[in-house]
Amino acid sequence: MDSYIIESNKKKSRMPARLDFAQSGTGLILGLFMWVHMLLVGSIILGKGSFNFVAKTMELAFLSDTGHGFPIAVFFAVLIVFTLFIIHALLGVRKFPISWKQHRIMRDQMQMMNHTDTNLWYIQVVTGFIMFFAGSVHLYIMLTNPGSIDPYLSADRIVSGNMWPLYLILLICVELHGTIGLYRLCMKWGWFSGQDARKSRKKLKALKNKLTIFFLTVGILALLVFIVIGINHRDRVGERYTKHDTAVEQVQEPKEAQPADVTHDKG
């Protein structure tokens, strides 16, 4: 009884709540970034010139007199994302099962409850574990090669560098993890809840499914385009994309035939 009174008089820590808030905040930023990033990468579907324009814009080429841009801008952007990625991962590990026994207990309870949102959380756990390794590789490559975002260089990295399996796995994990995470944030903090919570949950879940299909489709199409470009560029690995390549790709109208120079004999 005395021990119970002592425990009850202890001041409750707010640290778990603060860590949970930090995890939600970093997850929100990374989830929204993922959507923007996928749309920017998806510009390759519109052509190499479109992707090159996006890449140069990210390098702040419009502020450069030469038009080459500043890769250091990409470096700092990746550094910020990488830092948030690591912080979010460390905060998320707190809720992972730390032993096989805990994992089995959790799986048994999930099968017994058959709760959809709990199953979505488990997908987040699995994809988050994979992303910690695959995402770190991708971000490290971008961090150490900030000037290599280019239609040809990116395609060479995917095909000739044999990185396409990693990017395919990362694409699937990122889209599932990020979209589910944003849906669960809406549920957790009551965003867009409306008057009828059950109806709102159903609408948000339907929106989540549509967004997942959309971004997976864009990502897979973009990856396929990069693979085709990389295969056609195998004999010129390391060559950068130039504006001349854009001019060559443009469809030129056939020139009109010039009249023949007819000479008349003078009588």
Sign, CA dihedral 83-30-180-170, equals negative
Q: Cβ-count burial of 176 within 10 angstroms (0-12 exposed, 13-18 middle, 19+ buried)? A: buried
Classify 147 as helix, strand or coil: coil
User: Could you tell me the two tokens for 155?
Assistant: 């395609």
pLDDT at 198: 81
Are 45 and 219 spatial neighbours (Cβ–Cβ below 8 Å)? no
| Topology, domain 19-240 | 3 helical TM bundles of succinate and fumarate reductases (1.20.1300)
The residue among 128, 149, 146, 121 whose CA lies nearest residue 30 is: 128
Chain position carrying tokens 């939600």: 24
User: Could you tell me the two tokens for 144?
Assistant: 């150490």
Query: How far apart are the C-alpha atoms of 190 and 117, rounded to whole Å?
Result: 15
Tens-place pLDDT, residues 102-120: 778 777 777 887 778 888 8
pLDDT at 1: 47
Tens-place pLDDT, residues 193-249: 777 778 888 889 999 999 999 999 999 999 999 999 999 999 999 899 986 665 555
pLDDT at 74: 93
User: Phi/psi of residue 242, each to 5°?
Assistant: -130, 165
In degrees to the nearest 10, what's the CA dihedral of 43, 45, 49, 55? 30
Name, in order, each residue with C-beta under 8 angstroms of 175's C-beta and a sequence gap of 6 or more: 34, 38, 212, 215, 216, 219
User: Could you tell me the two tokens for 24?
Assistant: 């939600």
Q: Which segments of 233-267 does DSSP mark as H helices, in order?
A: 243-249
Are 246 and 46 spatial neighbours (Cβ–Cβ below 8 Å)? no
Q: What residues in the chain have per-residue pLDDT under 50? A: 1-2, 4, 250-258, 260-267
pLDDT at 174: 95
pLDDT at 36: 95
C-alpha 148 chain-centroid distance: 17
User: Phi/psi of residue 263, each to 5°?
Assistant: -100, 140
Query: How far apart are the C-alpha atoms of 219 and 221, rounded to whole Å?
Result: 6
Query: How far apart are the C-alpha atoms of 145 and 138, rounded to whole Å?
Result: 11
Q: Cβ-count burial of 156 within 10 angstroms (0-12 exposed, 13-18 middle, 19+ buried)? A: buried
